[in-house]
Amino acid sequence: MSLASLIAPLEFREPWYLLSCLSSLLIVLAAFSPSGRVLFSSLKILPSHAHTFRTRLVWLPTALLALAAILLGIALSGPRLPDRSQRIEREGIAIMMAVDISGSMQALDLSEGDVERTRLDAVKSVFSEFVRGTDTLAGRPDDQIGVISFAGFADTRCPLTLDHDILMQVAEGLEIVTARREDGTAVGDGLGLAVERLRASKAKSRIIILLTDGVNNRGEETPLAAAELAATEGIKVYTIGAGSQGFAPVRVPDPFTGRQTLQQVEVQIDEETLQAIAERTGGRYFRATNAEGLRKVYGEIDSLERTKIGEERFREYTEYYRHVTVLALMLCALAWLLMATVLRRLP
């Protein structure tokens, strides 16, 4: 490694302290200022060998002290080298998943095979496949993804992140609301909150996947007003109507025995509003009556425009002030030793 390549990334924590290096000039001026003299009437009376190695090296202690002063000034300024600068540049889009967690998401019509799964369980499973990837889905390792949940109220569960392990822990922890006061379907509030969370993203392509199985019946913001806000911000909204229309099987506890019984419960999806949201924002509406319908949404997302998202992870330093300080003290000790012994000056 060349000296130039080593010095190039060198930084100083407090560069103004480098001005203290000028104290070396005071040391030089003090060393050569007039002092006591011995006068001779003629140089001829001096011995012929007067110019010895001592006279030739009389400047050495002063030079060592001046260099030590410079080194101490450098030490005060905090010289350091960055161990490594990591810059991760990824190509991806910003995605906010807005998921309905109202009581109707307990319906079992999105089950696969012989395994009963609620609508929310199916949504979480396919969302995991979308993020992590499967044989049919490439996965989204380069996307910033976040999660919003809504029932009677909307909540941010996970902000936009590239840390998909944390994202999936949050998503897998979503649960259907059980308290009556928290139940309902605030589609407008969920969509509006997702737009707010995407506003700060610098990704060129920003989308919302809005999944619900019901009709907007709670919240302060209407779905179409939230859609207008998304369109103004240039955010596409892909809407998904999840589950069957009419009646769906739901496990309901028997009030007398407490055992779970399977009943057909009436459900309704406001497809007209979901279609209007998608059209106003340049997105698309999907009807998902099974888990495979959900996978089609993510296949569409895979074809969207990608943009570069940079993450700079910086910075751990190796500090060198200790090394420089020790070297300066060694030079001072050497200078004082020389002045006290072989290069001692009289008077």
Q: Which residue has the higher pLDDT, 310 or 206?
A: 206
For residue 55, tell me if it sits in a domain. yes
Rounded Cα–Cα distance for residues 20 and 28 (Å) = 14
**Per-residue confidence (pLDDT) for residue 310, from 0 to 100:** 59
pLDDT band at 347 (very low <50, low <70, confident <90, very high): low
Residues 168 and 117 in one domain: yes
For residue 43, tell me if it sits in a domain. no
For residue 76, tell me if it sits in a domain. yes
The neighbouring-strand residues paired with 210 are 98, 239
The neighbouring-strand residues paired with 90 are 309
Residues 281 and 145 in one domain: yes
Q: Identify whether the C-beta of residue 211 lies closer than 8 Å to the C-beta of residue 255.
A: no
Which residue segment(s) compose the domain that 80 sits in?
3-33+48-84+315-340
Residues 193 and 241 in one domain: yes
Residues 258 and 329 in one domain: no
Residues 208 and 282 in one domain: yes
**Per-residue confidence (pLDDT) for residue 224, from 0 to 100:** 95
Q: Is the pLDDT reported for residue 40 higher than 60?
A: no
Residues 193 and 212 in one domain: yes
Q: Which residue has the higher pLDDT, 187 or 200?
A: 187
**Per-residue confidence (pLDDT) for residue 259, from 0 to 100:** 76
Which tokens in the block code for residue 271?
């497809």
For residue 345, tell me if it sits in a domain. no
Residues 189 and 281 in one domain: yes
Q: How many residues does the chain have?
A: 347
In this prediction, residues 261-278 reach a mean pLDDT of: 85
Strand order in the sheet with 79-82: 11-12, 79-82, 317-319
**Residue 259, helix vs strand vs coil:** coil
Residues 117 and 217 in one domain: yes
Q: Is the pLDDT reported for residue 168 higher than 90?
A: yes
Residues 307 and 320 in one domain: no
Token pair 């060592």: residue: 64
In this prediction, residues 203-230 reach a mean pLDDT of: 92
Q: Can you give the C-alpha Rg of the chain in angstroms?
A: 37
Residues 177 and 290 in one domain: yes
Q: Identify whether the C-beta of residue 117 lies closer than 8 Å to the C-beta of residue 110.
A: yes
For residue 142, tell me if it sits in a domain. yes
Kindly list the distances between the CA atom of residue 284 and the CA atoms of 89, 158, 238, 281, 297, in Å, as whole numbers in the listed order: 29, 24, 5, 9, 9
Kindly list the distances between the CA atom of residue 267 and the CA atoms of 47, 82, 249, 254, in Å, as whole numbers in the listed order: 118, 60, 10, 20
Q: What residues have CB less than 8 Å from 160, skipping those under 6 apart? A: 94, 96, 144, 145, 146, 197, 198, 201
**Per-residue confidence (pLDDT) for residue 51, from 0 to 100:** 59
Q: Is the pLDDT reported for residue 180 higher than 80?
A: yes
Residues 127 and 181 in one domain: yes
For residue 288, tell me if it sits in a domain. yes
Residues 197 and 292 in one domain: yes
**Per-residue confidence (pLDDT) for residue 8, from 0 to 100:** 59
**Per-residue confidence (pLDDT) for residue 198, from 0 to 100:** 95
Q: Is the pLDDT reported for residue 36 higher than 80?
A: no
Rounded Cα–Cα distance for residues 241 and 277 (Å) = 12
The neighbouring-strand residues paired with 252 are 261
Q: How many domains does the chain contain in total?
A: 2
For residue 41, tell me if it sits in a domain. no
